[in-house]
Amino acid sequence: LTLATALDLLPKVELHCHVEGTMRPGTVLELARRHGLTLPTENLDELYSYGSLNEFLAIFWLVQSTLGGRDDWARLGYESVVDAAGHGRVYAEMFFTPARHLEAGQRLADIVAGLAAGIAAAEAETGSKAMLIADIDRAFGPGPGLQLVTELGELRRSGAPGIERVLGVGMDSTELGVDPKSFAEAYRTAAGFGFRLTGHQGENSPPSAIAEVVDVLGAERIDHGLSLVDDPALVRRFATERIPLTVCPNSNIRIANAFPTLAAHPYPKMREAGLLATLNTDDPAMTDLDLGYEYFSVAEAFGYRFDDMVGIALDGVEATWLDETGKRDLR
Ligand code: HPA
Ligand code: ZN
């Protein structure tokens, strides 16, 4: 058994994965054709190419636009969980970002019901579980963010089909030029409905913005949190309070171009500082990644052994939003 195979088989959880970023290129093409959308290329090897976070986001949005309704979301949810299960993922809290679909007139109830139905079918087949996090798309501003969480709250109150899968609320998309504090009302409203809270920050914004997401918005986790290492006092605080970071090292290289190679990534510094730094793929299909490779490449780049990687996987379990019984079942 090679280390790569062992880490592929190791039961793992994932807390930073965008369901739209898991879409198989063949599915993108098929849905685009069905809905009469033109892709920049029909060469599936070239579809996912970009040189910066903003270029990546443009393709991410294109992929999102191929999701035309409930059945497409169900197919995506199903394929996403089946693909991840093939690389040892046993549990996920997975993002979906419905801003542009809602703007185009889709109903949140259909998106949630579709995703939940597809995930349930894949769970029954593979045993790999997935819950959902509804992400606010920052590019749309605070108004649509508040609208999203208000509608989520209404779905929860009415017990809409699939809404029990949605554990929490987060935010993603561009960081530059966006003040995280402007989403305070949306976060307060989400908390009022009982949703758990996380948020993308520090992918290319300073540590002060990370602190605001925790202190002003009340987030329990930070997605990426890469720039945290620039503020040693904040690192100590996050380590002491065990505030989880959902780190995506390969994504940081392939999407954000933050480092030339994996060896230059601060992941080992984060671990040595005692941070609860979990490992995740972010957008595996769009970056040609899977969670097994994420673990293996990190082990190889930093000289971690199998036991070290088991420790990282267990930190992932700690960082989930499961109750103690749920966590115990995964350990
Ligand atoms: N950053 C911001 N938004 C995103 C990302 C990301 O890495 N992936 C999908 N949406
Ligand atoms: Zn992300």
Residue 47 has pLDDT above 90, yes or no: no
Three-state SS at 166: strand
- Nearest CA residue ID for atom 3, ligand 1: 173
Which residue type does 78 have? Answer: Y
Nearest bound ligand to the CA of residue 223: 2
Please state, for a pLDDT cut of 70, what percent of the chain lies above it. Answer: 100
Residue 314 belongs to what domain range? Answer: 3-330
Residue to mutate (ligand 1; options 14, 52, 57, 253; most atoms within 8 A of CB): 57
Residue 42 has pLDDT above 90, yes or no: no
Tokens of residue 70, six digits: 């409930």
Q: Give CA–CA dist 197/213, Å, rounded.
A: 10
Structure confidence at residue 14 (pLDDT):
98
Residue 263 has pLDDT above 90, yes or no: yes
Task: Report pLDDT digits (tens) over 176-185.
Answer: 999 999 999 9
Distance 82 CA to ligand 2 centre (A): 20
Ligand 1 atom with least separation from CA of 256: 7
Which one from 79, 203, 212, 294 is the annotated catalytic residue?
Answer: 203
**Cβ(20)–Cβ(63) below 8 Å:** yes
Cα 77 → chain centroid: 14
Q: 203 an active-site residue?
A: yes
**Cβ(132)–Cβ(116) below 8 Å:** yes
**Ligand 2 ion: Cβ-proximal residues, 5 Å cutoff:** 282
* Residue owning tokens 């997605």: 223
Residue 44 has pLDDT above 90, yes or no: no
Residue 277 has pLDDT above 90, yes or no: yes
Ligand 1 atom with least separation from CA of 175: 2
Task: Report pLDDT digits (tens) over 49-81.
Answer: 888 888 899 999 999 999 999 999 999 999 999
Edge-to-edge order in the sheet of strand 222-224: 200-201, 222-224, 245-247, 277-279
Task: Report pLDDT digits (tens) over 217-233.
Answer: 999 999 999 999 999 99
Residue to mutate (ligand 1; options 14, 50, 56; most atoms within 8 A of CB): 56
Structure confidence at residue 43 (pLDDT):
86
Length of the chain: 331
Integer CA distances (angstroms), 287 to 46, 110, 278, 283, in order: 11, 28, 19, 6
DSSP string, 252-289: HHHTS---SSGGGSSHHHHHHTT--EEE--BSHHHHT-
- Nearest CA residue ID for atom 9, ligand 1: 18
Structure confidence at residue 49 (pLDDT):
86
- Nearest CA residue ID for atom 2, ligand 1: 173
Contact residues for 203 (Cβ-Cβ < 8 A; gap 6+):
53, 175, 224, 226, 227, 252, 256, 258
Average confidence (pLDDT) over 268-296 = 97
* Residue owning tokens 């970023």: 21
Does 200 contact ligand 1 (Cβ within 6 A)? yes
Residue 99 has pLDDT above 90, yes or no: yes
Task: Report pLDDT digits (tens) over 299-320.
Answer: 999 999 999 999 999 999 999 9
- Nearest CA residue ID for atom 1, ligand 1: 173
* CA–CA–CA angle 249, 199, 260 (5° rounding): 20
Contact residues for 72 (Cβ-Cβ < 8 A; gap 6+):
31, 66, 114
Task: Report pLDDT digits (tens) over 10-30.
Answer: 999 999 999 999 999 999 999
**Cβ(301)–Cβ(7) below 8 Å:** no
DSSP string, 93-121: EEEE--HHHHHTT--HHHHHHHHHHHHHH
**Cβ neighbours around 32 below 10 Å, total:** 19
Structure confidence at residue 52 (pLDDT):
87
Distance 57 CA to ligand 1 centre (A): 7
Tell me the CATH number at 312: 3.20.20.140
Residue 142 has pLDDT above 90, yes or no: yes
Give how many domains the chain has, as a whole number: 1
Q: How confident is the prediction for the chain on average, in pLDDT?
A: 97
Three-state SS at 281: coil
Instruction: Compute φ and ψ for 271, nearest 5 degrees.
Output: -65, -45
Average confidence (pLDDT) over 112-128 = 98
